């Protein structure tokens, strides 16, 4: 007698991602899990499937993609702002703001997001000032945030609204640039930009608006073949994340993605039973405890050991003192949480490593056994963009996962050598990291970049700007990774960061049936072609959550 199952997928190119080129002809799914992965003849002999789905010969099937680090709520917020991404000139950005001003009552706030002056051809990489924004409108308070989120620019009216005037000094953890006479020029970095997060009303406080935006955005996530998101709150920018929002959507059948919610304030992580963990319909869970060390290279606020090569007056900004970072990391760990630390510059990395070393020493001192320590989830280092040899050697002794953003390189490669000089050779070292034995996960840091995995995979494999395919052969080409390794970063490596590697990430018996069918074989075609890859179908727990047709 044949066993009845829900779905049987058949095809020539079903990649399990267990190992490179590992393929099966058939995947059987029942109750949200994979119950068979093997030969077609065996599957047809054993199973009676309610539905048989053919993966065409030119298509491939893979485990669903993921994004190991993004700010989903913040992304939904940006959907209500003037999106300045894609502007080719400062003039274009100002026009978009001016257009918005025309349809906005005088005196109301206008928020712009995602500006990136390094891509503007008319400003020599100069960040705009209040005077520029005043041209868009001097009758509306305007603030715009850089794509990296670490720099904000306010117009004159917005400065007035915040009571920021002549001689303003922010203090520790942030800066406000001043003009010669001591008047702020509108450029605020790191913590200094916080005042606007408090001042400007968040449109998502209206539950109906929030739900509508989240549902739309989640559908779009599914359409990119993404089935797992690790989303992060960031109190410094008033980015909240709320477990209940996602659970409520799931209860209504509106959540097509597995969500891991990471917070940057202390919380109690619920202990899940074995049964709950094994349930493929459980889509929302709590994740890491996020800690910041520094800013970003794009804003020259990433903390460096030596000054910036293109601005010797600064080493960037450490947003937390080492002692506080140590205590914060240890307290979270002691509380049973998994610390995840943002570090971009080499001094930021140094601080993060010291905090982990401190925490593990404290754990041992306090009587935790080696077995207990080994049983804990790894420390996550988010970005891990710059390192030195000593740091690599120390990292190898620590239980860490590196949550990298390959897509950053697609644009950073144009200016990173100028910004950090020789040290560029010790940045974005993905090949080296893999060879040293680190597990790398792929993330977008959305809304910094989009959650579509394609440009990230492209960046990891080719290390070129997708806009022009330059530099030829790739930037630091010996650091390229293979297509398989890049796809690993966006599929099976992500659950390792969560301790979920036994439940998802590959197409193996017992795992959740989270899968994607793509229109072309990215493993056999030229790597550039990954940008053209189209998602045909996305499945979560065996259910179709997206179809191109
Ligand atoms: Zn982030």
Q: Note the pLDDT tens digit of each residue in 407-424.
A: 999 999 999 999 999 999
pLDDT one-digit tens code per residue, 60-96: 999 999 999 999 998 998 888 999 988 999 999 999 9
Instruction: List, in sequence order, every residue forming a beta bridge with 470; answer none if it has no partner.
Output: 465
User: Is the pLDDT confidence value at 448 over 90?
Assistant: no
User: Is the pLDDT confidence value at 29 over 90?
Assistant: yes
Ligand 1 center–CA 313 separation, angstroms: 26
Question: Which of 193, 211, 182 shows the shortest CA–CA distance to 152?
Answer: 193
> CA separation (Å) from 543 to 6, 222, 244, 280, 281?
10, 12, 23, 11, 10
- Give the pLDDT score at 487: 98
> Residue 545 has which token pair?
């959550």
Please, which pLDDT band fits residue 105 given cuts at 50, 70 and 90?
Answer: confident
3-state secondary structure 186-204: EEEEEHHHHHHHHHCCCHH
CATH architecture of 78-199: Roll (3.10)
Largest CA distance in the chain: 87
> Residue 247 has which token pair?
């659970």
> CA separation (Å) from 326 to 173, 323, 332?
17, 5, 10
Q: Give the distance from CA 440 to its chain's centroid.
A: 13
Q: How many residues are given for the chain?
A: 549
> Residue 271 has which token pair?
């202990």
Supply the pTM of this predicted model.
Answer: 0.88
Ligand 1 center–CA 404 separation, angstroms: 11
Ligand 1 center–CA 463 separation, angstroms: 21
User: Is the pLDDT confidence value at 222 over 90?
Assistant: yes
Question: Which of 448, 430, 340, 327 shows the shortest CA–CA distance to 385?
Answer: 430
Please, which pLDDT band fits residue 53 given cuts at 50, 70 and 90?
Answer: very high
- Count of CB atoms situated within 10 Å of the CB of 360: 20
- Give the pLDDT score at 270: 92
> Do the Cβ atoms of 147 and 115 come closer than 8 Å?
yes
Ligand 1 center–CA 231 separation, angstroms: 9
Ligand 1 center–CA 382 separation, angstroms: 8
Please, which pLDDT band fits residue 23 given cuts at 50, 70 and 90?
Answer: very high
Q: Give the distance from CA 107 to its chain's centroid.
A: 34
pLDDT one-digit tens code per residue, 57-69: 999 999 999 999 9
- What is the C-alpha separation between 354 and 351, in angstroms, rounded? 5
**Ranges assigned E (strand) in 456-542:** 515-518, 535-540
Ligand 1 center–CA 82 separation, angstroms: 20
**Ligand 1 (ion): which residues have CB within 5 A?**
445
> Residue 414 has which token pair?
């144009």
* Planar angle of CA 53, 56, 62, nearest 5 degrees: 75
Ligand 1 center–CA 81 separation, angstroms: 19
pLDDT one-digit tens code per residue, 34-43: 999 999 999 9
The sign of the CA dihedral 193, 194, 200, 204 is: positive
Q: Which percentage of the chain shows pLDDT scores above 70?
A: 100
* Planar angle of CA 267, 375, 322, nearest 5 degrees: 55
Question: Which of 282, 224, 286, 239 shows the shortest CA–CA distance to 258?
Answer: 282
Residues 6+ apart with CB under 8 A from 236: 190, 191, 194, 197, 292, 319
Ligand 1 center–CA 301 separation, angstroms: 14
User: Is the pLDDT confidence value at 236 over 80?
Assistant: no
């Amino acid at each position: 007698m044949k066993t009845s199952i829900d779905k049987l997928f058949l095809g020539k190119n079903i990649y399990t991602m267990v190992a490179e080129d590992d393929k099966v002809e058939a995947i059987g799914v029942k109750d949200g899990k994979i119950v068979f992965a093997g030969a077609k003849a065996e599957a047809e002999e054993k199973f009676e499937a309610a539905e048989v789905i053919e993966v065409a010969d030119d298509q491939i099937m893979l485990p669903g993609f993921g994004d190991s680090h993004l700010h989903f709520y913040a992304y939904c917020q940006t959907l209500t702002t003037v999106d300045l991404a894609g502007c080719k000139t400062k003039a274009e950005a100002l026009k978009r703001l001016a257009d918005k001003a025309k349809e906005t009552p005088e005196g109301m706030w206008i928020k712009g997001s995602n500006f990136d002056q390094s891509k503007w051809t008319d400003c020599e990489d100069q960040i705009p000032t209040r005077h520029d924004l005043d041209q868009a409108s001097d009758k509306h308070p305007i603030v715009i945030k850089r794509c990296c989120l670490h720099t904000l620019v306010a117009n004159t009216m917005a400065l007035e609204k915040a009571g920021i005037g002549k001689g303003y000094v922010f203090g520790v953890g942030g800066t406000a640039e001043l003009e010669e006479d001591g008047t702020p020029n509108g450029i605020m970095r790191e913590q200094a930009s916080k005042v606007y997060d408090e001042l400007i009303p968040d449109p998502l406080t209206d539950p109906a608006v929030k739900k509508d935006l989240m549902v739309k955005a989640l559908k779009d996530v599914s359409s990119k073949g993404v089935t797992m998101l690790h989303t992060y709150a960031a109190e410094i920018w008033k980015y909240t994340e709320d477990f209940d929002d996602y659970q409520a959507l799931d209860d209504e059948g509106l959540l097509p993605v597995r969500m891991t919610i990471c917070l940057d304030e202390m919380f109690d992580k619920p202990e899940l039973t074995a049964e709950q963990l094994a349930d493929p319909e459980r889509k929302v869970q709590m994740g890491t405890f996020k800690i910041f060390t520094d800013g970003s290279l794009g804003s020259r606020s990433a903390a460096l050991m030596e000054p910036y090569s293109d601005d010797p007056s600064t080493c960037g900004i450490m947003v937390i003192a080492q002692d506080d970072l140590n205590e914060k990391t240890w307290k979270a760990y002691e509380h049973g949480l998994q610390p995840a630390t943002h570090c971009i510059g080499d001094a930021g990395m140094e601080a993060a490593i010291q905090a982990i070393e401190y925490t593990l020493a404290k754990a041992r001192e306090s009587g935790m056994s080696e077995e207990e320590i080994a049983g804990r989830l790894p420390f996550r280092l988010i970005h891990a963009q710059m390192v030195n040899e000593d740091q690599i050697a120390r990292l190898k002794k620590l239980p860490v996962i590196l949550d990298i953003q390959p897509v950053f390189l697609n644009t950073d490669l144009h200016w990173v050598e100028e910004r950090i000089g020789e040290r560029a050779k010790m940045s974005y070292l993905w090949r080296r990291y893999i060879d040293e034995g680190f597990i790398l996960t792929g993330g977008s840091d959305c809304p910094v970049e989009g959650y579509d995995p394609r440009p990230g995979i492209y960046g990891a494999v080719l290390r070129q700007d997708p806009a022009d395919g330059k530099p030829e052969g790739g930037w630091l080409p010996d650091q390229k990774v293979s297509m398989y390794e890049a796809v690993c970063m966006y599929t099976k490596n992500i659950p390792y960061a969560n301790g979920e590697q036994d439940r998802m990430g590959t197409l193996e018996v017992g795992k959740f049936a989270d899968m994607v069918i793509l229109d072309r074989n990215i493993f056999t075609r030229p790597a550039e072609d990954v940008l053209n890859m189209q998602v045909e179908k996305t499945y979560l727990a065996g259910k179709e959550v997206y179809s191109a047709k």
